[in-house]
Amino acid sequence: PVMSVHFKNTTMLFLGILLSMTLAHAEKAYTEDRHAGIIVLDPGHGGNDIGARGSDNMTEKQVAMTFAGLMTERLKKTYKVFLTRKDDYQVDVFERPALANHLKADLFVSIHTGGSFRNQPKGISLFYYDNASNNAAAFENQTTHLAEPSSAIKAWGHNRPELVEKSRYLTELIRKRLTRADGKHQVSTSGAPLIVMSGADMPAVLIEIGYITNPLDAKDLNDETHLSNVARAICDAIDDFFSNKRRL
């Protein structure tokens, strides 16, 4: 009987410890899941919509997909990451921010390359939504979707000025990180009335990671080491953004 009581007590103690560990693990998982940021990456173009094309037949849709994969590998360690497309197929420009809204994402990042009829333009361009902007740089890339005044989309910038400011702030964080990581590429930031961001109900940025129509930029866009360095800098800036999010 004494051994039976001892065995019973030991069993109860073991079960109690096991239950405590299980609850602690569940609470930790719940807390981490509850506080994980949701990021939607939008690899531009796809399918029949190839975007801009380089002189060596490299296409914007291919570069955007590759770069989204590099960003995903880094971001998924900390955040929940979703892509608007996972392969080479076309997604309607309105469906891209709609997916981010459906997922209640904390951030929307659209990935592109720059493109021009001339081969001189170069560098990395960062855009946040600005309905009032007539910045000429936004019109340089003929493959970028620009919001028309007659668009049925409600003017996001007019109704959610705090999102415009947060998006502008993120582009500045990215610019700083990219400038530190890669001094040879000029990095510009500007507002533009881009349709792909106009429907997003969260901070949103569009990144052109280099001009595919510029021979030197195109060479870098075909270099995975370079792309990895750029992806790391952008992901570091996203970490900075989430670290400061509560103070915004």
- Asked if residue 59 lies in contact with residue 213, where contact means CB atoms within 8 angstroms, the answer is no
pTM to 2 decimals?
0.80
Confidence grade of residue 165 (pLDDT, cut at 50, 70, 90): very high
Domain positions in the chain are 1-35, 37-247
pLDDT value, residue 90: 96
The three-state (H, E, C) secondary structure of 2-62, written as one string: HHHHHHHHHHHHHHHHHHHHHHHHHHHHHHHHHHCCEEEEEECCECCECCCECCCCCEHHH
Structure tokens at 119: 């081969």
C-alpha separations of 60 from 39, 42, 80, 179, 239 in Å:
22, 13, 25, 23, 26
Structure tokens at 140: 């340089």
C-alpha separations of 40 from 62, 99, 205 in Å:
18, 8, 11
Distance, in Å, from the CA atom of 114 to the CA atom of 192, rounded to the nearest integer, reads 14
Over residues 22-46, the mean pLDDT reads 67
Confidence grade of residue 161 (pLDDT, cut at 50, 70, 90): confident
Higher pLDDT, 161 or 81: 81
Instruction: Please state which of the ranges 12-16, 84-88, 145-149, 190-194 shows the lowest mean pLDDT.
Output: 145-149
Structural class in CATH, domain 37-247:
alpha beta
Mean pLDDT of the chain: 82
Give the rounded percent of residues in the chain with a pLDDT score beyond 70. 73
Torsion of CA 45, 126, 213, 220, to 10 degrees: -100
Other CB atoms within 10 Å distance of the CB of residue 123 = 16
Q: To 5 degrees, how large is the angle CA 239–CA 131–CA 163?
A: 30
